[in-house]
Chain A
């Protein structure tokens, strides 16, 4: 890693993050466009959930993370509080790994 790489990646990332809050400023975008932006953000987050559950580099795997997500979905379905959902999923994955699964 070199210093110019650190700062170039930081600058590039900051430009991407700041386009909304800095460039858009106090101007409002039309409501349909705002709804579309929210929809795209939720879609990206859902894709991130899928990849962080089943992705391993360029392959797809079924391991303790998938079991954790299954438990999380069940907990959400049962209207468990946020903390319970996260702890249940984490404990499931940790437990399975302690048993040598996933």
Chain B
């Protein structure tokens, strides 16, 4: 396994570029599903959690109620609660700053921050990733919403493979610890086992129970 954590700025930029293209496709999808330009851009600005935005738009487009879209999105975003608690020690500062930091608590910013060897680098990684992703996601959404039509297909570009690949590269140094590795494996297996039986978002929450598996192994590096 690799031993060098990813350089915060470079990794953040790579995340940002692929996030920008996925933002493009969100803009296109939202407009073709009947959302106004203003509402499409507002979603990316104020919700700023890609998976839940796609889920909400798809729910409405397939005839679901707005309430179902909201509830599904909140279930999908519940994972941000432990993320925020985990990165909180890196984000001390005045209230206004912590209020802004909260908006950029993401899968990517959390993973990049936790993968850094020191708190100072973790803090830098969190802000670099969070701010770049905020800029690229919203810019991508705006361009997609304005341009309309199928201008970008993230899966044809292989970008749906970029997210798991980036995460694996970030998590690799952490997974040298036996307790982390056991918990991660248990979480992945639980999520996949639950997928056929539950609504999107719930399998990921159930997978948190995988962390309990770490209790059965010693904490020191294997």
Q: What residues of chain A have their CB less than 8 Å away from a CB belonging to chain B?
A: 1-10, 12-14, 16-22, 24-26, 28-29, 34, 36-55, 57-60, 64-65, 67-69, 71-73, 75-77, 79-83, 85-86, 88-95, 97-98
When the two chains form their complex, are residues A44 and B82 in contact, meaning their CB atoms are under 8 A apart?
Answer: yes
B174 contacts across to A, CB distance below 8 A: 42
When the two chains form their complex, are residues A1 and B66 in contact, meaning their CB atoms are under 8 A apart?
Answer: yes
When the two chains form their complex, are residues A83 and B10 in contact, meaning their CB atoms are under 8 A apart?
Answer: yes
B59-93 CB mask vs A (1 if < 8 Å, else 0) is 01000001101100110011111111111110110
Bound: A76/B170 CA distance, A: 9
When the two chains form their complex, are residues A50 and B114 in contact, meaning their CB atoms are under 8 A apart?
Answer: no
Q: Give 9 nearest A-B pairs by CB, closest first.
A: A68-B161, A20-B84, A94-B158, A89-B165, A47-B207, A93-B158, A46-B184, A93-B161, A72-B165
Q: Known contacts A21-B84, A47-B207, A85-B169; is A13 also within 8 Å of B187 by CB?
A: no
When the two chains form their complex, are residues B191 and A13 in contact, meaning their CB atoms are under 8 A apart?
Answer: no
Bound: A25/B88 CA distance, A: 7
> For chain B, what secondary structure do more than half of its interface residues adopt (helix, strand, loop), or is it mixed?
helix
B39 contacts across to A, CB distance below 8 A: 1, 3, 6
Residue B140 is within 8 A (CB to CB) of chain A in the complex: no
Q: Give the size category of B's interface with A.
A: 35 or more
Interface positions, chain B 1-24, Cβ under 8 Å from A, are 1-4, 6-7, 10-11, 14, 18
A72 contacts across to B, CB distance below 8 A: 161, 164-165, 168-169
When the two chains form their complex, are residues A1 and B60 in contact, meaning their CB atoms are under 8 A apart?
Answer: yes
A44 contacts across to B, CB distance below 8 A: 79, 82-83, 187, 204, 207-208
Q: How far is the CB of A84 from chain B (nearest CB, A)?
A: 9
When the two chains form their complex, are residues B161 and A89 in contact, meaning their CB atoms are under 8 A apart?
Answer: yes
Q: Which of A81, A82, A91, A93 contacts B160 (CB 8 A)?
A: A93
Q: Which of B34, B56, B77, B103 contacts A5 (CB 8 A)?
A: B56
A16 contacts across to B, CB distance below 8 A: 74, 77-78, 80-81, 84
Nearest residue in A to B68 (C-beta to C-beta)?
A: A5
B20-46 CB mask vs A (1 if < 8 Å, else 0) is 000000000010011100010011001
When the two chains form their complex, are residues B190 and A47 in contact, meaning their CB atoms are under 8 A apart?
Answer: yes
A45 contacts across to B, CB distance below 8 A: 107, 110-111, 167, 171, 184
A–B pairs, 29, beta carbons within 8 Å: A1-B30, A1-B33, A4-B66, A5-B69, A8-B70, A12-B73, A17-B77, A20-B84, A20-B88, A21-B84, A21-B105, A22-B95, A22-B102, A24-B85, A43-B207, A46-B167, A47-B204, A48-B107, A48-B191, A51-B191, A51-B203, A54-B195, A58-B195, A59-B195, A65-B164, A73-B168, A86-B169, A89-B164, A93-B160
